Amino acid sequence: MQPSEDEDSMPRNNEEFKTKKDRYKVLALLGKGGYGAVYSVLRLSDMEKFAIKCENAAACRKALYMDCNVLKGAAKIQSRHFCTVIDQAAVKNRFNFIVMKLIGKNLWDLRMDTAECRFTKGTSLKAASQCLISIEELHRFGFLHRDIKPGNFAVGRKESNEHHTIFMLDFGLCREFVKRGEGRLRTQRAKSQFRGTTRYAPINSMLEIDTGRKDDIESWLYMVAEWTSGGLPWRKFKATEREKVLKYKKDVRTDKEIMADLFYNCPLKEFERILKYVDELDFYSEPDYKFVYCCLQHAAAASKIKDTDPLDWDPNVPYMGPIETIGDGKVIELDVDQGMSTEVSFNKTGRDRETADATKRVEIKKK
């Protein structure tokens, strides 16, 4: 039988799967996307809970390969903001899957849980800082995310005392922006088909211009503005109404009223500075993450927000998120292996193919 794109091929509750290392029993569906789904599972050797991300065997885009590859890269820099992959396998003619650390609710759902569907300024700035740090880390090991949005960040589980830590998820649209071993950036492609999510997409991606590091930061800023404002000015448009959303995003830059609407209830002065700064960068720029981070700290100080102020999803406990400093964005040389093992019969046909040779040199730090 041919593998089908329909849901029948996806795991069912209580179904068990075997890998070379262990057995897992499916507990519940956690999230669903276009190419697959994420489930909580029980590892039967020790009854520990994990998450599995499954991708239909018939999916042509093979996003799971990128998920796996990026998470393995993240493990090498020992970031707190990425899940670890502990196992991987394929169920013939049904789906491929990776087994990873189980975390908690995503930032979209957490905002929807609040009474007014918005975070307080304090929570928003703390979450913004952690997400920015994770973006800098991802860039540091050579990948762009290209789908920064609240559904792709989640907090850790309370049971593991990680519910003040934010994790970055979903690397299916990632792209390597460096030429490994050559210490240089890949050349900007003449055109790049739109991918990602209309609401948070950077202007360049909507114009089908190949995106760089600064474009991930632009998406991050839309996401953060939405947290405190309660909704982006272009929220009423559908994902297919890209032209209208694009016009809105352009108008923000020229119309003070629309800018004030975008940053309603946000630290206006600092967010305006960040937007202006990001707009000055180009495809090859190495963003000054420290500058953006400082703007957040400045905004927090100006609003008298304390480091210990609780998060909205844990209002009675002082903030105990990771204490860390933001990196300088210098790309490190990283020996990322080939992701999914060959026994999983994963092919790379869906990966972005390089279309042009890279010429731009970058400084790449040795690990």
Ligand X SMILES: Nc1ncnc2c1ncn2[C@@H]1O[C@H](COP(=O)(O)OP(=O)(O)O)[C@@H](O)[C@H]1O
Q: Would you state the structure tokens that stand for residue 336, as one six-digit string?
A: 């990322």
Asked if residue 256 belongs to a known ligand binding site, the reply is no
Single residue of 73, 172, 267, 321 touching ligand X by CB under 6 A = 172
User: If binding is defined by CB under 5 A, does position 170 make contact with Mg ion?
Assistant: yes
Is 147 one of the annotated active-site residues of the chain? Answer: yes
Start-end of H helices in 78-231: 107-112, 121-140, 203-206, 213-229
Query: Angle at CA 186, nearest 5°, toward 184 and 190?
Result: 150
Return the residue of 3, 151, 183, 230 that touches ligand X, per CB under 6 A: 151
- Identified binder of ligand X from the candidate list 38, 54, 128, 364, rule CB under 6 A: 38
From ligand X, Mg ion, none, which one binds at residue 102 (CB under 5 to 8 Å depending on kind)? Answer: ligand X
83 belongs to the binding site for ligand X (CB under 6 A): yes
**111 vs 184, beta carbon nearer ligand X:** 111
* Position 152 contacts ligand X (CB under 6 A): yes
- Phi–psi pair at 153, nearest 5 degrees: -130, 140
Please report how close the Cβ of residue 106 comes to Mg ion at its closest, in angstroms.
8
> What gap in Å lies between CA 339 and CA 72, rounded to an integer?
7
Closest distance of CB 308 from ligand X, Å: 27
Determine the residue with CB nearest Mg ion.
170
> What 8-state DSSP symbol labels residue 158?
G
| 170 touches ligand X (CB under 6 A) | yes
Q: How far from 338 is each of 66, 70, 142, CA to CA, in Å? A: 10, 10, 15
User: Considering CB distances under 5 to 8 angstroms, the limit depending on partner class, which of Mg ion, ligand X, none binds residue 155?
Assistant: none
| Shortest spacing between CB 32 and ligand X, in angstroms | 6
Does position 169 bind ligand X by CB under 6 A? yes
Is residue 5 a contact point for ligand X (CB under 6 A)?
A: no
68 binds ligand X (CB under 6 A): no
Q: How far apart are the first and last CA of the chain?
A: 47
CA 189-185-80 angle, to 5 degrees, is 110
| Neighbour-count burial for 76-115, b at 16+ CB within 10 Å, e otherwise | eeebbbbbebebbbbbeebbbbbbbbbbbbbbbebbeeee
Q: Is 203 helix (H, G, I), strand (E, B) or coil?
A: helix
The one catalytic residue in 8, 46, 87, 147 is: 147
For residues 120 to 159, the per-residue mask of contacts with Mg ion, x marking binding by CB under 5 A and - elsewhere, is --------------------------------x-------
Nearest-angstrom CA–CA distance, 286 and 282: 9
Size of the site for ligand X (CB under 6 A): 18
Task: Tell me the CA distances in angstroms from 364 to 18, 139, 142, 154, 331, one per residue in order.
Answer: 40, 12, 10, 30, 5
Map residue 9 onto helix, strand or coil.
helix
223 binds ligand X (CB under 6 A): no
Applying CB under 6 A, among 10, 26, 51, 224 the residue interacting with ligand X is 51
Where b means 16+ CB within 10 Å and e means fewer, 217-255 reads: bbbbbbbbbbbbbbebbbeebeeeebeebbebbebbeee
Binding region for Mg ion (CB under 5 A) out of 168-176, 225-233, 234-242, 321-329: 168-176
Q: How far is the CB of 42 from ligand X (least distance, A)?
A: 14
Q: Which is nearer to ligand X, 89 or 262 (CB)?
A: 89
Positions marked active-site: 147
Q: Which residues are known binding-site members for ATP?
A: 53
Residues that bind ligand X (CB under 6 A): 30-31, 33, 38, 51, 53, 83, 100-103, 106, 151-152, 154, 169-170, 172
